[in-house]
Structure formats: structure tokens, C-alpha cells
Amino acid sequence: MIKIKELHKSYTMGQNTLYVLKGIDFDVREGEMVAIMGSSGSGKSTLLNILGMLDTADSGTYILDSNPIKELDETKAAIYRNKFLGFVFQSFNLISYKTALENVMLPLYYQKVNRKERQARAQNFLEQVGLGPWASHHPNELSGGQKQRVAIARALVSEPKVLLADEPTGALDSKTSYELMDVLQKINDTGITLLIVTHEEDIAKMCKRIVHLRDGVIVEDKKVKQVRASSYVE
């Protein structure tokens, strides 16, 4: 599903150049649930942003679903993001003036799905994440966990092949985090590939594979026995 080779990324701040990714080789197969771990500044979020085409690499190759990404212009990248990828951010990134339902409907607007169908599909996904009754609420009327579920519903509504989550539990308490991981595991069970950036060990253990990053290189890449989040959720 995802193939990257010799991926490099640096940021220039004034006269200093900060090398964040220093040649990453990394494959993800369809249906995997991968945790990308590392301390702050290890480059894990940068890697996820490049994989999500929110940012570009300086060099290296990135192939998503057999398509070389580097050659895509911004318009094609937007279409890819819309069709193949779903995002979940630590800070939710919901549009504040839209209701939960309208936020979830938005990716379908860019797929030119008609309004009625958008509404029906968005409502269905909100119900899948347990937020059916909260559809008409605005983000500021929802708890952190609820906002993240809306974000997950929004990421899933366009039926992506890969779901990218950057510290999805970072702003949540433990109980809500496990509930959320339960939702993500169930999503993975349906065959959707998941990449989760986290620095929490217990969250990483709920994935099937853990990739450790340190100073811009992969120092460990191992398969683990997945801990089911449902065992923590009553």
C-alpha cells in the first residue's frame, strides 16, 4: 500500500538547517495497523505529514497504492488525499462554525456527492462512531473524545484506503483514549490501513506493528501482539 525509500526532509531556519528525516525506508502493507513512535523531534509527525501529502519530502521516493507521489501537482495531491487518505489530528481540526454532521459531510462535498447523499452517509458514519445523537452539535458543544470521533467519522466518510492519525489520543484522558483506540481497531478490522503517530507505549501496543524513530532514522521496526482496546473499555 505504502512504499518509501531514502526519504529525506530538512527545515531551514535562518542560517541553520535542521535535518528531520535522514533516509527513511519503510513499507506498509494493506490492512496493517502501524504505530510510529519516537520522542519529540524524532521526525514521526513529519513522516506522517509527508505520507499524508500535507508536506513534501526533499528527496526519496514515495509510492502510494502503486502511484509515485512526488510527480503529483497540488491538484492531484488534493484528489489523492480525498480519495485514498483520511486524517485524524491531535487538535481535531474541525471547522468550528459547522455542526458535527456538516464537518463529516465536507469531504464528500469535494467528491461532488449530492447533498442528500452526503447527509445520509455522514449521519451513518457518525452513528458508527457512536455520535448519531450529536449530529447537530457544533464542535464547541462536544467533549475532546467526541470531537475526535467526529474527526474519525470525517476521515472515514470518503472511504479511504489509509487512515493517518497524528497523536489521536494526545488530547484525551486514558479512558477516552482506549475508547477511541477501540474504534480505530474496529476500523482496521474492516481492512483499512492505519498509521498512528504516538509517544504513548500502551497506545502503540494496540497496533500490530511498531516503528521506532530516533533523530530522523528508523531504529526499530517490529511486529507486536496486538492488545485489544475493548478489554479496557467496559
- The correct pick among 115, 175, 223, 228 for binding other proteins (CB under 8 A) is 115
Helix (H, G, I), strand (E, B) or coil at 136: coil
- Using CB under 8 A as the binding rule, whether residue 83 contacts other proteins is answered as yes
User: What is the 3-state secondary structure of 145-209?
Assistant: HHHHHHHHHHHHHCCCCEEEEECCCCCCCHHHHHHHHHHHHHHHHCCCEEEEECCCHHHHCCCCE
Find the binder of other proteins among 11, 27, 70, 109 (CB under 8 A).
109
Q: Which of residues 176-195 bind other proteins (CB under 8 A)?
A: none
Closest CA to 168 of 45, 13, 17: 45
With cell 492519525, the residue in question is 165
Does position 81 interact with other proteins (CB under 8 A)? The reply is yes
233 makes contact with other proteins (CB under 8 A):
no
Q: Which is closer to other proteins, CB of 70 or CB of 109?
A: 109
Q: Give the residue, chosen from 5, 68, 95, 189, that forms a contact with other proteins under the rule CB under 8 A.
A: 95
Does 158 bind other proteins (CB under 8 A)? Our answer is yes
Nearer to other proteins (CB atom), residue 5 or residue 11: 11
**Does residue 164 contact residue 195 with C-beta atoms inside 8 Å?**
yes
Chain contacts with other proteins (rule: CB under 8 A): 49, 52-56, 74-75, 78-79, 81-83, 87, 89, 93-95, 97-98, 102, 106-107, 109-112, 114-115, 154, 158
